[in-house]
Amino acid sequence: MESADLGAVGPYELLLQLAKGGMAEVFIARRAGAGPGEAGREPLVALKRIRADLRAESGYSSMLLDEAGLASRVASPNFVQVLDRGIDEGGAPYIVMELVVGVTLKQLTRSPEALGIGDALDLIAQAADGLHAAHEARDSSGELLQVIHRDISPSNILVGVDGRARICDLGLAWALRRTTRTKTGMVKGKLSYFSPEQAHARPLDRRSDVFSLGVVAWEVLAGRRLFVGSNMLSILHAVLEREVPPLWTERDGVGNAVTDAVARALERDRDARWATAAEFAGALRGAAERERHAASRERVGGRVAEVLPEGLRPLVAGYGPGGLLATRESVAALRAMHAAGVVGERDSSGMMAVRGSSRG
């Protein structure tokens, strides 16, 4: 598909369709009209907009605007950044995000070889940093927005070829001033990562997300799922009642410090949990230091590159601190990948890799 067929959205030239989900479609784009000498200096971005067949329904536009508004208030290297947002010529909203070349934590941990304990702890601590930044997001007057992600899982933690973990997808998030709300009785999020208060449909605060991230931490370190069941009720029962085995019994090399740090995140009484994601991050890093678990982002980035679909791997060499630049070579490579059907069709997070499912 040639870029001429895709046109432009606002000041952005659409290069390739990256993904199409149930609500939105995502394109790889670049800012149009680069001046002399600027070609190749601008990073490629991910542009997300409502699917054409849904643009007449105002609810979808409101959801996208809400997501953009919340994400734009989160400032952290461990949260997928919203770079711009606007309304196109047809009146439809769009958001522009950083383009992350990487995989989800879920994909990264599918490998038969488990992540090293130090690398796993570092990735979860990074994710906790990004989550804390979301929880601390404030409006223009400085008022806390009281963001709750509500959908923390390995599928919503991206790991780039730079070895950095990023929280993504605020599509299900709750916030004080969000205009779109969940209908009473509607289940939001992935059941196996629900907090007990989510399972009881009780009011939530940031500690609910801490529990969910605790589940992710336990699973990444143990190498298996924690709360499983054959149906919705059995999964919720597991969340509420099933005993959580100490991590030291699940993984050689994990000691009491790491076990205790994760166990506190998984306290069913939220008053006994870490009060913030920042506290959880600090506990994980402290435990890693006490137990001498070394981390290497270079090593993690190398593993990510190995897990990437083969057709995407040539892009790794062009990915730097400023992201993937819009050079002739990178654009040509992306077009070739699109023509070959390599780029994921159902991802809407701003990540160039296949994900199992997507709302957006």
Annotated catalytic residues are: 151
Listed residue (254, 297, 262) closest to 279, CA to CA: 262
Nearest-Å Rg of the Cα atoms of the chain is: 20
Pairwise CA distance, residues 233 & 240, whole Å: 11
Pairwise CA distance, residues 45 & 169, whole Å: 16
To 5 degrees, how large is the angle CA 49–CA 24–CA 315? 80
Query: For residue 122, what are its two tokens?
Result: 């570092």
Query: For residue 68, what are its two tokens?
Result: 């953009």
Helices of type H across 31-71: 58-71
Pairwise CA distance, residues 294 & 90, whole Å: 52
**Angstrom distances, CA of residue 344 to CA of 120, 211, 322, 325, 357:** 25, 30, 23, 20, 10
Handedness of CA 70, 76, 79, 85 (dihedral sign): positive
Pairwise CA distance, residues 201 & 177, whole Å: 20
Handedness of CA 195, 133, 281, 349 (dihedral sign): positive
Pairwise CA distance, residues 213 & 129, whole Å: 11
Handedness of CA 322, 80, 311, 331 (dihedral sign): negative
Confirm if 51 and 20 have CB atoms less than 8 A apart.
Answer: yes
Phi/psi at 302 (5° precision): -65, -40
Give the count of alpha carbons within 13 A of 237, CB side only: 6
